[in-house]
Amino acid sequence: MARIASEHDVDLNQIQGTGRDGRITKKDVLAYLESGPPKLEPAVSPWEEPASGELFRPTEEIFGALAKAEATRPTAQPASVQPLNAVRKAIAEHMVRSRRTSPHVTTVMEASGSEPCPGPPGRSQKLL
């Protein structure tokens, strides 16, 4: 039974066993081969399937050409520079000073605790 299944690339998980305690028999494998594997349609994910209904209609169908005309790209407003007030100026100065004085690095060191460190000379190495 196992040899027949492996020769024909049959997945035994797809066969319903009719033997004792639901075991798969040779007759089950042969019947499966005669009937052929079940034809499964490829599963389509919900996001790959086009939606239907009023909510999913294209905007052009709902509003016509008016939507295209109104959907123009907004123009950027010219930038203006405003002087800082006293609080914002103090915050900016403090941030710059902090960046200059503090080291912005991290040092990582590893130490192994597998071997004991030697004690002072002349002392016993026994642990109490």
CA pair distance 29, 6, nearest whole angstrom: 11
Residue pair 24/1 in contact (Cβ under 8 Å)? The answer is yes
Q: How far is CA 77 from CA 57, 74, 122, in A?
A: 34, 9, 81
pLDDT for res 86? 94
- State the total domains in the chain: 1
Has residue 22 been placed in a domain? yes
Q: Domain of 17?
A: 2-35
Has residue 55 been placed in a domain? no
CA pair distance 4, 25, nearest whole angstrom: 11
Has residue 14 been placed in a domain? yes
pLDDT for res 124? 63
* pTM (2 d.p.): 0.30
Has residue 29 been placed in a domain? yes
pLDDT for res 39? 62
Has residue 23 been placed in a domain? yes
> Could you give the angle at the alpha carbon of 12 between the alpha carbons of 36 and 25, nearest 5°?
90
pLDDT for res 70? 61
Has residue 60 been placed in a domain? no
Has residue 16 been placed in a domain? yes
pLDDT for res 61? 72
Question: 7: domain CATH number?
Answer: 4.10.320.10
Per residue of the chain (128 residues), what is the pLDDT tens digit?
778 888 888 888 888 888 888 888 888 888 888 887 666 666 777 777 777 777 777 777 767 655 555 666 667 778 888 888 999 999 999 999 988 887 777 788 888 777 777 777 776 656 55
Closest CA to 37 of 73, 53, 13: 13
pLDDT for res 115? 75
Has residue 24 been placed in a domain? yes
